[in-house]
Structure 1
Amino acid sequence: MLTDKQSLLLCGLTASGIFIAGILDILNNFIVLTILTLIFFAVIGNLLYIKMNPKEDDKKELENQNDSI
């Protein structure tokens, strides 16, 4: 879904967005909250997607670790 760099960029964008909106006192604005919430859910959704669907290389590594035990 998203690469690591894209996830880090979105996390930084969310953190800086919350910081700047808080300083400018526009954090209660519906549009600002909606944008920040959508970015946050995109990052969380990407985390869940990666944990639920590991890549095939990761699956092979897990199988090799289980075989060696």
Structure 2
Amino acid sequence: MLNDRQSLILCGIIAGGFFVSGVLEILDNYIVKTVLTILFLVLIINFFVVYSKSKKEKQNDLK
């Protein structure tokens, strides 16, 4: 899915989004919450996909 660099950029965008929306006090807006939640879920799903993919590759290398 995403490589390491893209994951770090996405993580920075999420952190910056929380910071900016908190400073501007727009974190209560449902659209902002939805966008930040979707970005966070994409990051978490990417982690599990990459982790399971590398785990399968390690198992195949052992055979």
Normalised by the length of structure 2, the TM-score is: 0.86
Partner of 1:40: 40
Partner of 1:22: 22
Q: Which has the larger radius of gyration?
A: 1
> Any stretches of 5+ residues in structure 2 without a counterpart?
none
- Give % identity: 45
Normalised by the length of structure 1, the TM-score is: 0.79
Q: Deviations over 1:2-38 (max 9, x none)?
A: 0111100000000000000000000010000111001
Partner of 1:67: none
CA distance in 2, matches of 1:55, 1:5: 20
Q: Which one-letter code corresponds to 2:43 in the other structure?
A: V
Q: Which one-letter code corresponds to 1:3 in the other structure?
A: N
- Pairwise CA distance, 1:55: 7.4
CA distance in 1, matches of 2:52, 2:4: 16
- Pairwise CA distance, 1:52: 1.1
Root-mean-square deviation (CA), in Å? 1.8
SS in 1 for 2:54: coil
* Deviant stretches of 4+, over 3 Å: none
